[in-house]
Amino acid sequence: MSDRRDGTTVTTGPAATAPATAVPAAETTGSTTATTAGPRLLAGGPIAAEIRAALIADFAAFKGRWGYVPTLAIVLVGADAPSAVYLQQILRTCEKVGVQGRLVEIGSDVTADALCNEIERLNADPAVAGIIVQMPLPAHLPLRTVIDSIDPAKDIDGIHPRNAGLLSLGYDGFLPATAQASVEILKRSGIEIAGKRVVVVGRSNVVGKPAALLLLREHGTVSILHSKTRDLSRHTRDAEILIVAAGRPGLITGEMLSPGVVVVDVGINVVGDELVGDVDFESAKGIVGAITPVPGGVGPLTNALLLTHLLRAATDQAERAGHGAGTVAAAKRATR
């Protein structure tokens, strides 16, 4: 597992303009179960736009109440081009909703101590409400040590063991935004999860595993498949809801699916000049009942949800800081 949080294969922003409901009629697949109308497309763009609109008002209210604009700090170690593009998207979303985005770029030869010191500085900075450490890190850096150094109260993408533990116990913590987006897109599209046979392909700490836990929280009957699972299609054909987060373009084909299954394709892969998911859309579209497009599905929702976490973190921190006393005053000074 690469333990990537954001999918460093991302090279462009997911289209916010993905069609809202249906694709053109499915081509004949030869299957007697193929539909002719095409599947319902579960587009993330419109949902993300709604969330952003609410955030604009909420961050304006935050500023009105506390007198400063919270900062999201993004730590990028080394020059990873796809990560840099993905991070530019987050920074643009920050700008759209009225949040200060701060990119902290650090050379790839940084020592673990120096990196943790930098994160400690951000932990202590009252203006910084949330911290994201971009993955993957260079191989010489110990992932666990770096993650442990993030203040759990500022860990808005839920990678710290405290937040991961809260999720596994069903308590409130910060959720990994991509995993949350893959479940939110179902809920906000009115798709019932309770009691359904839900299959998750992928078990990374940032996507597959937390998605499975969230689906369990929604009372799905959840199975998790991974790179060592034998006979993938035996399990995928059983799914009423299938979440795919493997980072393998075209891993899931139409013949591995049951008619009417709802598919959430989390994968973002660059193939040639194109962004594609982990599901082979062409062979799947005549079989599935609904599917998230790539791009334009889970991706747009992820950033919007991340900033809802930032709002919560900022509010918690401002309230905890003695109702406006020292820390808030310091935050105001720091953001002037």
From first CA to last CA, the distance across the chain in angstroms is 42
Name residue 102's beta-bridge partners.
73
**122: Cβ contacts below 8 Å, ≥ 6 apart:** 73, 75, 104, 128, 131, 154
Q: Rule CB under 6 A: choose which of 193, 298, 328, 331 binds ligand NAD.
A: 298
Per this entry, what is the length of the chain? 336
H/E segment holding residue 72:
strand 71-77
Size of the site for ligand NAD (CB under 6 A): 32
Asked if 223 touches ligand NAD (CB under 6 A), the answer is: no
**Cα–Cα nearest to 324, from 163, 126, 177, 122:** 126
Closest residue (Cβ) to ligand NAD?
Answer: 7
Q: Rule CB under 6 A: choose which of 7, 38, 101, 254 binds ligand NAD.
A: 7
DSSP conformation letters of 85-154: HHHHHHHHHHHHHT-EEEEEEE-TT--HHHHHHHHHHHHH-TTEEEEEE-SSPPTTS-HHHHHHTS-GGG
Of 57-65, 95-103, 163-171, 220-228, the segment contacting ligand NAD by CB under 6 A is 220-228
Q: State the Cα–Cα distance between residues 155 and 133, nearest whole angstrom.
A: 9
Asked if 137 touches ligand NAD (CB under 6 A), the answer is: no
Query: At closest approach, how far in Å is the CB of 220 from ligand NAD?
Result: 19
Between 220 and 299, name the residue whose CB sits nearer to ligand NAD: 299
Are the beta carbons of 134 and 141 closer than 8 angstroms?
no
CA 19 to chain centre: 21
Between 40 and 248, name the residue whose CB sits nearer to ligand NAD: 248
Between 8 and 317, name the residue whose CB sits nearer to ligand NAD: 8
HSE-CB at 129 with a 13 A cutoff on CA atoms is 33
Query: At closest approach, how far in Å is the CB of 94 from ligand NAD?
Result: 16
**What mask of x and - would describe binding to ligand NAD in positions 257 to 296, judged by CB under 6 A?**
---------xxxx---------------------------
Asked if 243 touches ligand NAD (CB under 6 A), the answer is: no
Between 26 and 224, name the residue whose CB sits nearer to ligand NAD: 224
Of 32-40, 59-67, 124-132, 242-250, the segment contacting ligand NAD by CB under 6 A is 242-250
Q: Rule CB under 6 A: choose which of 251, 262, 313, 314 binds ligand NAD.
A: 251
Of 17-25, 137-145, 219-227, 306-314, the segment contacting ligand NAD by CB under 6 A is 219-227
Which of positions 150-209 make contact with ligand NAD (CB under 6 A)? Answer: 178, 201-204, 206-208
DSSP conformation letters of 218-267: TT-EEEEE-TT-S-HHHHHTT-SEEEE-S--TT-B-GGGS-TT-EEEE--
The residue ranges that bind ligand NAD (CB under 6 A) are 1-4, 6-7, 9, 178, 201-204, 206-208, 225-227, 229, 232, 245-248, 251, 266-269, 298-299, 302
